[in-house]
């Protein structure tokens, strides 16, 4: 079953800092919903473990993540491939970063995924809703990480 996603999110961080955050595996491990392990396999290649719930179906995935087509600090493509107890997923998304003044950025994303196995049985409508929900959680976690970093920086300079 094919799934398409696209959207945009404004973040209160300069473009160069957003680029750094989105290329830091430790940050990605904290902000990707359901992520519980990240291990570097090489430059811009990682193994990732996730636990997800899609509708009434839940399970764990192990997969690989690769970053390609990098144009710092403007754009990159993230490809994900994984298998788990509830099925498989393979997809990619392009992330475009645009400066919005001195201290803010706009992140646009567009991608597609192929999903199969038990998880595909929940239906297109449920999967689309879950994809939007997970994207929202990703961006909220990123924004929280940015805020916590600013608070920590303020505490050390005070």
Residue 12 lies in a domain: yes
Q: What is the dihedral of CA 24, 62, 66, 134, to 10 degrees?
A: -70
Q: For 54-110, how does the pLDDT look when each residue is reduced to its tens digit (9 = 90+)?
A: 667 778 889 998 999 999 999 999 998 989 888 888 889 999 999 998 899 999 999
* 75 part of a folded domain: yes
Tell me whether residue 158 is in a domain: no
Asked if the structure places residue 44 within a domain, the reply is yes
Average model confidence (pLDDT) for the chain?
Answer: 88
Q: What pLDDT, on a 0 to 100 scale, did the predictor assign at position 154?
A: 79
Q: Residue 124: which domain range? A: 2-153
DSSP tag of 72: T
Check pLDDT > 60 for residue 33: yes
Q: Which two tokens stand for residue 111?
A: 């991608």
Q: How many structural domains is the chain composed of?
A: 1
DSSP one-letter code for 13: S
Q: Is residue 77, in this structure, part of any structural domain at all?
A: yes
Flag whether 133 is in a domain: yes
d(CA 9, CA 124): 24
130 pLDDT higher than 80: no
Q: Is the pTM of this model over 0.75?
A: yes
C-beta of residue 129 within 8 angstroms of C-beta of residue 136: no
31: domain CATH number is 3.30.530.20
* Closest to 113 in 3D by CA, of 92, 134, 83: 92
Q: What is the pLDDT of residue 158?
A: 52
- CA dist 31 and 48 (Å) reads 13
Q: How far is CA 47 from the centre of its chain?
A: 14
Q: Is residue 149 part of a domain?
A: yes
Residue 2: pLDDT band (50, 70, 90) is: confident
User: Percentage of residues in the chain with pLDDT exceeding 90?
Assistant: 48
């Amino acid at each position: 079953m094919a799934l398409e996603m696209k959207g945009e999110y404004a973040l209160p961080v300069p473009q160069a800092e957003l680029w750094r955050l989105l290329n830091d595996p430790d940050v990605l491990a904290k902000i990707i919903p359901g992520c519980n392990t990240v291990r570097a396999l090489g430059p811009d290649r990682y193994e990732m473990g996730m636990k997800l719930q899609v509708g009434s179906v839940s399970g764990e995935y192990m997969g690989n993540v690769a970053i390609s087509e990098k144009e710092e600090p403007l754009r990159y493509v993230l490809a994900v491939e994984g298998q788990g107890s509830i099925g498989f997923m393979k997809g990619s998304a392009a992330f475009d970063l645009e400066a919005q003044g001195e201290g803010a950025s706009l992140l646009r994303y567009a991608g597609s995924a192929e999903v199969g196995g038990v998880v595909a049985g929940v239906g297109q409508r449920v999967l689309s809703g879950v994809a939007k929900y997970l994207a929202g959680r990703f961006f909220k976690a990123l924004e929280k990480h940015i805020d916590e970093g600013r608070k920590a920086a303020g505490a050390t300079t005070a």
